[in-house]
Structure 1
């Protein structure tokens, strides 16, 4: 199964209206990063144990760990959670930046150092979410 097929299957398993909203977000991410690498992580570790919600990733960035090792990972991510949808914007060094820059204008959302979590798209201003994603893409200096 291709990554695109895995993403489609994952989105299709979500209940409405989450399914439609995740499709809308997937289309938005694909438009913002048309040539990006797509990722699908099923949420399981190498032993098959569930360690996170499945998630869809867009783009690619290199993560360097304290021990000097590096690995490739997605830049922007999306996943369903029990109460709604999470959008991950990775690679921003200042962990207060997202909340300080976009938190007030976003609407009913929880904003952490790299995650914007909301119940439904109707609760947030999608144009502000899009601006936050574009800002995250720009801050990492990786072109797509």
Structure 2
């Protein structure tokens, strides 16, 4: 049975008295708002480990640059008579993946950081903003949790 939330994002759903942590729209943990130490909504990175994703993307693009230099050296080599099409297509997949990872790692949006005891939760509000319900979300969460900080 699907539970209806007042607001639902990719990783959490907001109900009357609690926040539900979601995986594939299935609530695997429920946190009462009374147990929450603080909530901050501010502009930030969508990804939690964005620096690692950016590093991987830059490394993929560096590999593509290195491989393209090797291919250009093949064209200048007098001993090379045939360059196969497959050799020219090798850098295509890492290039596309590298561009994608760099773009998603640098993407900024409104994020909600929630502290419960010693745990820190990081939620992107991108889906709520795309649904044009961000203002209603702010009003609802302010009604339920008075000491929220919005930057």
The TM-score range, normalised by the shorter chain, is under 0.3
Give the structure with the higher percent helix: 2
> Scaled by the length of structure 1, what TM-score is found?
0.24
Tell which structure's C-alpha radius of gyration is larger.
2
Q: More relative contact order in 1 or in 2 (CA 8 Å, sep 6+)?
A: 2
